[in-house]
Chains A and B, each alone.
Chain A
Amino acid sequence: DAGVTQSPTHLIKTRGQHVTLRCSPISGHKSVSWYQQVLGQGPQFIFQYYEKEERGRGNFPDRFSARQFPNYSSELNVNALLLGDSALYLCASSLAHNEKLFFGSGTQLSVL
């Protein structure tokens, strides 16, 4: 069975640009969450979506947005990139919104 898949695996952008990160959950999982992991820190919660609705939002600026599609895949969008947005972005899926999370390998974003 395929796990949580994320694309791309690596990405390099410049300040001010926009980025879209994609996530496909495990088959049958209806909840997708996004986390940001800066080097040397634990993952920080950004968003959770369940059944295509936003169920939680972390302490991130409005430049960060996300959505979930009818097939339960998800996109994370970040506008007006800053150097500080450089991080590993993790997607996790679960059967329901309070179940065990399964993580993908992440997208490593570098902002120059």
Chain B
Amino acid sequence: AQSVSQHNHHVILSEAASLELGCNYSYGGTVNLFWYVQYPGQHLQLLLKYFSGDPLVKGIKGFEAEFIKSKFSFNLRKPSVQWSDTAEYFCAVYGNNRLAFGKGNQVVVIP
């Protein structure tokens, strides 16, 4: 069964700071990777996804993620965060007809 590890569950940073959230996965099949975001009071939304091709994936709102197969990682980055990026971020891997999510990163951006 597939699994995902996310570290640094709580992240607090100031506006304009850079953000990087780590994600490591475990799955023996073809890898489909996702980052979802949950803004306060809202439902889960897709930030970006990797199925194949260019390992550097660009998503919405200036986010990007890099798939490094040798490290089983899919880290999320944003060069300069805004207050509106305050949210919970979930990494997920798809396999066996299901998404396996990590525990999430609670990110708080201070104005």
A interface, CB within 8 angstroms of B: 3-4, 33, 35, 40-45, 48, 50, 55-56, 58, 90, 92, 97-98, 100-106
Contact = CB atoms under 8 A, between A and B. Distances in A.
16 contacts: A3-B43, A4-B43, A33-B99, A44-B101, A45-B98, A45-B100, A56-B96, A58-B98, A98-B32, A100-B34, A101-B46, A101-B99, A103-B45, A105-B42, A105-B43, A106-B43
A43 B94 CA distance: 13
Interface string B31-48: 010101000001111100
Interface of B: 4, 6, 32, 34, 36, 42-46, 49, 90, 92, 94, 96-104
From A44, A45, A106, residue with most partner B Cβ within 10 Å: A45
